[in-house]
């Protein structure tokens, strides 16, 4: 079995779509092409082909377009116009892609909210998107449970129940199922999006930065359309299936998978959520040609008991990010996926890389990228005696920064930023190589080898990755700090052998008089009600006092290094017990079992 190199005819087959893509690449920010134009063009080409399969439902390209048009006409009837934004929170369902697609037809942006967010985090997501309108699937109504009635009353809340299911009542919510069904299926007049430009946001995707709550990352029409090249480049052909077990609010599932299929006339086999035990059954049942992964997904699959049917499937490729070198070869040998394409990029990044060569552990080669020396202990870029940023040598780990074009009308390489100027400016590094230049700060540590290949090492600063999600330590700390008696909270990530990324750990210091009164069960209930599941700390460390710098910053380096071994640490260590809905005292590191 070949490990990744492709024969010449695969690239030849991709050449024609790439040539056709040149006009897209040359688009400027003030061009008038939108993703809605692209969708309508692809629907004309592939009308009766199958676009999506989901459980017992399926829709063709024509039916997908009809659903999108109903969403567009519904929004027009509600008074939405080009430039408006609607918060959108829905689990993987047949309506998800048609709804945001339909909104783009009239120049309205959907803010794709992570379905793990709850309570005030949802309100924050709406606030940074500049909207008080929220469209939710009925399965997400529980996410709003901790928001007060007074606050809910300030929102316009639309609910779309699944077909055939009873919808739970919610104060003030408007059920739009009947209204949506009664809308026209014709394309809305293009004049509704005449004011929209290629450089405008097609929708917002949320991402946790190095500090604070989720930010709404802009995703313009050109960038979204260019993802349609993935299908032809990976050999996905008309009518072939790409399997999607990832959430559609996420860039990998909602952009990568969707646009890969759309660009090839392919079919999306969508499931509600990832299941390691059901994954290969689904791949075979749908006769999938490929799928998009995140690294932790691959580890979950590899940890499943061996099966005689391992490797018996029709997959030709898998594409994604975060496949660590320690499991890459094992995964490919066991499951016999002919071609693994590891990539690098982020929702808001202005640069991307693709490792088409199959070089194990690498994300490929990057143009316009520079690695700058970074001090993990101080969380700062290193400068020389003259105050200039220092570039890394070959093999040296540093923060990846990528150049931003000077021409604001240029789209390729442009950093689109977030919905707030302050958040955008924090990700820009100026005067890096010469006066007046600007670079996007990735927040990622990488290294480059002598052949020019880049390798992802880790996230830096106050963000770590766990279960494929970025976890903001400040968001976690704020949720934990509101528990009675807590004085300070220091949140950080710790490595667990056999798991991708870092698991959350929190060092807690209680107010004087609260010592010895830690109620682990009450604390667990407090945290679960305020945080997404992936952000809930796995370990707790109860400390007698805070370790802070002279500038009142919490020290984390020593805490990360000491980890969670109770035989090395004098303070009590607790581990999350999901089954018992509590935290329990950890007495030996051999008792650590994380699923």
Going by C-alpha positions, the residue among 586, 497, 581, 579 that lies closest to residue 539 is 586
Cβ–Cβ contacts within 10 Å for residue 178, how many?
A: 7
- Strand duo 50-54 + 267-270: pairing: parallel
411-443 burial string, b = 16+ CB within 10 Å, else e? beebbbbbbeeebbebbebeebeeeeeebbbbb
Count of positions (residues) in the chain:
595
Per-residue confidence (pLDDT) for residue 32, from 0 to 100: 95
CB-based contact 398:388 (threshold 8 Å): no
CB-based contact 49:58 (threshold 8 Å): no
By CB neighbour count within 10 A (0-12 exposed, 13-18 middle, 19+ buried), where does 473 fall? buried
By CB neighbour count within 10 A (0-12 exposed, 13-18 middle, 19+ buried), where does 379 fall? middle
What is the rounded end-to-end Cα distance, in angstroms, of the chain? Answer: 31
Per-residue confidence (pLDDT) for residue 500, from 0 to 100: 81
Per-residue confidence (pLDDT) for residue 46, from 0 to 100: 97
Q: Is the pLDDT of residue 511 over 80?
A: no
The residue-averaged pLDDT of 9-33 equals: 72
- Tens digits of per-residue pLDDT, 375-408? 866 778 999 998 899 999 999 989 999 999 988 8
pLDDT-derived band at 452, boundaries 50, 70, 90 = very high
What are the DSSP E strand ranges found in 287-415? 288-294, 317-321, 340-344, 353-355, 369-375, 380-381, 398-403
Q: Is the pLDDT of residue 201 over 90?
A: yes
CB-based contact 463:473 (threshold 8 Å): yes
The residue-averaged pLDDT of 361-377 equals: 89
Q: Is the pLDDT of residue 215 over 80?
A: yes
- Tens digits of per-residue pLDDT, 412-427? 888 888 898 988 999 9
The residue-averaged pLDDT of 427-433 equals: 93
DSSP at 304: S
Collapsing DSSP to helix, strand or coil, 302 comes out as: helix
Give, in order, the Cα–Cα distances in Å from 327 to each of 188, 202, 297, 358, 535: 49, 36, 11, 14, 24
pLDDT above 70 covers a percentage of the chain that reads 92
Residues 6+ apart with CB under 8 A from 579: none
Per-residue confidence (pLDDT) for residue 18, from 0 to 100: 65
Task: Name the least confident of 102-111, 191-200, 298-307.
Answer: 298-307
Per-residue confidence (pLDDT) for residue 62, from 0 to 100: 98
Cβ–Cβ contacts within 10 Å for residue 314, how many?
A: 13
Instruction: Please tell me whether the overall predicted TM-score, pTM, comes out greater than 0.75 for this model.
Output: yes
CA atoms within 13 A on the CB side of 562: 19
Per-residue confidence (pLDDT) for residue 131, from 0 to 100: 97
Per-residue confidence (pLDDT) for residue 550, from 0 to 100: 39
Collapsing DSSP to helix, strand or coil, 75 comes out as: helix
- Tens digits of per-residue pLDDT, 519-564? 999 999 999 999 999 999 999 999 888 776 433 456 777 888 899 9
Per-residue confidence (pLDDT) for residue 170, from 0 to 100: 75
The residue-averaged pLDDT of 123-145 equals: 94
Q: Is the pLDDT of residue 438 over 60?
A: yes
Per-residue confidence (pLDDT) for residue 210, from 0 to 100: 35
Cβ–Cβ contacts within 10 Å for residue 32, how many?
A: 14
Partners of residue 433 on adjacent β-strands:
none
Tokens of 376: 């993990």
Cα-to-chain-centroid distance, residue 475 = 17
Q: Is the dihedral of CA 576, 580, 584, 586 positive or negative?
A: negative
Going by C-alpha positions, the residue among 316, 73, 353, 61 that lies closest to residue 192 is 73
What is the C-alpha separation between 293 and 302, in angstroms, rounded? 13
What are the DSSP E strand ranges found in 301-424? 317-321, 340-344, 353-355, 369-375, 380-381, 398-403
Per-residue confidence (pLDDT) for residue 263, from 0 to 100: 94
DSSP at 147: S
What is the C-alpha separation between 137 and 95, in angstroms, rounded? 10
- Tens digits of per-residue pLDDT, 48-87? 999 999 999 999 999 999 999 999 999 999 999 999 999 9
């Amino acid at each position: 079995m070949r490990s990744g190199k492709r024969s010449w005819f695969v690239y030849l087959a991709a050449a024609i779509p790439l040539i056709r893509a040149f006009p897209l690449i040359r688009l400027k920010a003030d061009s008038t092409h939108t993703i809605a134009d692209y969708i309508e063009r692809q629907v004309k080409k592939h009308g009766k082909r199958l676009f999506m399969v989901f459980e017992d439902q399926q829709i063709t390209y024509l039916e997908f377009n009809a659903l999108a048009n109903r969403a567009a006409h519904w929004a027009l009837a509600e008074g939405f116009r080009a430039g408006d934004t609607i918060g959108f929170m829905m689990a993987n369902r047949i309506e998800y892609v048609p709804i945001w697609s339909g909104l783009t037809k009239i120049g309205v942006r959907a803010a794709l909210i992570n379905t793990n967010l709850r309570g005030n985090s949802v309100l924050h997501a709406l606030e940074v998107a500049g909207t008080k309108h929220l469209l939710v699937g009925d399965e997400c109504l529980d996410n709003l449970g901790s928001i007060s009635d007074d606050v809910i009353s300030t929102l316009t809340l639309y609910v779309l129940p699944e077909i055939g299911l009873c919808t739970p009542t919610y104060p003030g919510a408007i059920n739009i199922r009947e209204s949506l069904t009664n809308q026209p299926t014709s394309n809305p007049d293009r004049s509704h999006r005449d004011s929209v430009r290629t450089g405008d946001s097609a929708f917002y995707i949320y991402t946790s930065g190095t500090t604070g709550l989720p930010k709404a990352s802009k995703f313009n029409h050109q960038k979204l359309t260019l993802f349609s090249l993935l299908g032809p480049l990976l050999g996905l052909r008309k009518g072939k299936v790409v399997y999607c077990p990832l959430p559609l609010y996420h860039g990998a599932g909602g952009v990568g998978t969707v646009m890969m299929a759309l660009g090839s006339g392919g079919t999306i086999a969508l499931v509600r959520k990832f299941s390691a035990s059901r994954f290969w059954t689904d791949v075979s049942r749908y006769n999938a040609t490929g799928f998009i992964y995140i690294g932790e997904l691959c580890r979950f699959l590899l940890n499943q008991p061996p099966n005689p049917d391992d490797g018996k499937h029709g997959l030709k490729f898998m594409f994604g990010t975060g496949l660590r070198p320690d499991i890459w070869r094992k995964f490919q040998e066991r499951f016999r996926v002919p071609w693994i394409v590891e990539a690098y990029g982020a929702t808001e990044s202005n640069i991307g890389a693709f490792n088409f060569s199959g070089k194990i552990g690498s994300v490929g080669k990057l143009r316009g990228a520079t690695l700058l020396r970074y001090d993990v202990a101080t969380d700062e870029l290193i400068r020389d005696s003259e105050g200039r940023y220092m570039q890394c040598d070959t093999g040296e780990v540093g923060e990846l920064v990528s150049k931003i074009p000077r021409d604001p009308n240029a789209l390729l390489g442009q950093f689109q930023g977030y919905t707030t100027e302050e958040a955008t400016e924090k990700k820009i590094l100026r005067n890096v190589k010469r006066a007046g230049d600007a670079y996007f700060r990735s927040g990622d540590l990488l290294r480059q080898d002598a052949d020019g290949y880049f390798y992802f090492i880790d996230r830096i600063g106050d963000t770590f990755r766990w279960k494929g999600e970025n976890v903001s330590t400040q968001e976690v700390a704020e949720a934990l700090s509101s528990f009675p008696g807590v004085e300070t909270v220091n949140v950080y990530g710790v490595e667990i052998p056999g798991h991708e990324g870092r698991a959350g750990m929190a060092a807690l210091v209680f107010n004087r008089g609260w010592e010895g009164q830690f109620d682990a069960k009450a604390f667990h209930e407090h945290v679960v009600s305020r945080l997404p599941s992936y952000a809930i700390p796995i370990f707790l460390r109860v400390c007698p006092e805070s370790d802070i710098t002279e500038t009142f910053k919490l020290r984390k380096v020593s805490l990360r290094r000491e980890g969670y071994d109770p035989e090395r640490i004098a303070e009590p260590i607790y581990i999350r017990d999901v089954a018992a809905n509590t935290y329990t005292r950890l007495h030996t590191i051999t008792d650590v079992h994380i699923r």
